[in-house]
Amino acid sequence: MDSLPTTLRSEGMEFYGNDREGDRETKNGSEGNEKALEILDEQIFYKQGCFEKGRRWIKGCHPELGVLVHGWSGWETVQDFDRIRPMHTFEVHEK
């Protein structure tokens, strides 16, 4: 979920969710036109090399992001996504 903030911020949105220890991270509202999103879960169901195909569940109704379902925590948005992550990064320096 490390690339989620840049992905969603490019769409004008801010997100929050579980940290690595599983404790819930909280945000007090949102600034400007940004919407605060809570990522409930994310699952990768296909991966080949640096390509990933997955699904994420977002708390609340966000019809512009995906399909609305009534889940365990009330209304949730289910979003399918494709992501390409870099396998290696490097810098080139001229001599």
Residue 92 placed within a domain: no
Residue 90 placed within a domain: no
Residue 89 placed within a domain: no
Alpha carbon 6 to chain centroid, angstroms? 9
Burial of 13 (0-12, 13-18, 19+ CB in 10 A): buried
Q: Which domain holds residue 47?
A: 4-84
Q: What is the DSSP letter of 9?
A: H
Residue 91 placed within a domain: no
Contact (Cβ atoms closer than 8 angstroms) between residue 56 and residue 44: no
Domain count, the chain: 1
Q: Which residues pair with 41 in a beta bridge?
A: 57
pTM over 0.85: no
Is the pLDDT assigned to residue 95 strictly greater than 80? yes
Residue 72 placed within a domain: yes
Which tokens belong to 81? 């996504």
Residue 95 placed within a domain: no
Q: Find the angle CA(26)-CA(32)-CA(36) to the nearest 5 degrees.
A: 30
Higher model confidence: residue 29 or residue 41? 41
Residue 93 placed within a domain: no
pLDDT tens-place string over residues 40-86: 999 999 999 999 999 999 999 999 999 999 988 899 999 999 999 88
* Residue (of 44, 64, 48, 31) closest to 4 by Cα position: 44
Residue 70 placed within a domain: yes
